[in-house]
Structure 1
Amino acid sequence: MGHIVKLCGIFFLMGIVSATAQDIFGQWKTIDDETGQEKSVVEIYQENGKVYGKVVKIVNKDRQDAKCDKCKGDKKDKPILGMVIVEGLEKDGGEYSGGSILDPNKGKEYRCKLWLDEDDPDKLNVRGYVAFFFRTQNWFRVK
């Protein structure tokens, strides 16, 4: 009987650890590559089995009403605040890939890959790439 209680306790603790394991979902601070300052907050979420990211906050008060004037298609001249900029990623091992990311300031769309930093689960690696060229940014979890 004592062994069963111990096993139940172990399984309970394992459940707590896995339930609190970090994932990519939630809100992330984006950092401007040039200034090193916080630029926006993007919420990463899952919908119909795919991963998306939407701009939920723009830090610079002067940019609150900014529109995606360089974008093409249905995002042309739409507000950046509330815009979905990460679209259609799927889990592939420890990464999410197969979708795209939009840079609303340049109006350019790139293939995208997201993964949590191995040493810091509050740091998200965000890679946008075209052919063999890529750029990786670090976004930081909003707590």
Structure 2
Amino acid sequence: MKKLLVLFASLFLAGAACFAGDPAEGYWISIDEKTNKPTAGWQIWVENGKLYGKMLSIADYPQDTLTNGGKGRHYENFMNNVDIGTVKTVGATWIWDLKKLEEGKWADGFIIDPGDGKRYKCRIVFHKADGKKYKQDTLEMRGEVGPFGRSQFWKSATKDEASAIR
């Protein structure tokens, strides 16, 4: 009976591991690299094999603020080609269409900077907390134009924490 119970538990755990989400999925807080202060709360998820990201809250602005830039800009596959200048910052899916390279690594998608409405190629890499360089689970979000780019390092959060940035 014990052997049967151990076998059943092992199969259950192995099956659960097969359906576990990618480590990039979850809730994150973007951090300003100059001030080290939170700028926004995010939800990252996988849908139909692609990675997406939605802003849940924003620091230093009313939560119903429209984007600061992008009036008249439209991008293919971004919210049905909506005018960027008419989109509320919180609640919009600013990261879309990233393709999985391997576990925790995504690329070939896009991110829009809500501050100016510009679209960038996007790469995301999950870094597990190691107690050294990464004190907690971290998401490296990199926006790129051609060979040039900039990375931000987002910290893991709960849904409540990511939704509470003000």
Scaled by the length of structure 1, the TM-score of the pair is 0.81
Of 5-14 and 64-73, more deviation after overlay is shown by 5-14
Residue in 2 aligned with 1:65? 64
CA distance in 2, matches of 1:65, 1:135: 27
What one-letter code is carried by the residue in structure 2 that aligns with 1:79? Answer: K
CA distance in 2, matches of 1:37, 1:17: 35
What one-letter code is carried by the residue in structure 2 that aligns with 1:91? Answer: K
Q: Answer whether contact 2:31 2:37 (CA < 8 A) is retained.
A: yes
Look up the SS of the partner of 1:76 in the other structure.
Answer: helix
**Equivalent of 2:153 in 135, 138, 141:** 138
**Gap runs ≥5 in structure 2:** 75-82, 131-135, 159-166
CA distance in 1, matches of 2:124, 2:101: 10
Number of equivalent positions: 142
**Equivalent of 1:110 in 96, 120, 127:** 120
Cα 1:5–1:20, aligned 2, differ >3 Å: closer, same or farther?
same
Residue in 2 aligned with 1:90? 99
CA RMSD of aligned residues (A): 2.6
Residue in 2 aligned with 1:44? 44
Scaled by the length of structure 2, the TM-score of the pair is 0.71
Look up the SS of the partner of 2:86 in the other structure.
Answer: coil
CA distance in 1, matches of 2:106, 2:97: 9
Q: Answer whether contact 1:69 1:78 (CA < 8 A) is retained.
A: no
The higher relative CO (CA closer than 8 Å, separation ≥ 6) is in: 2
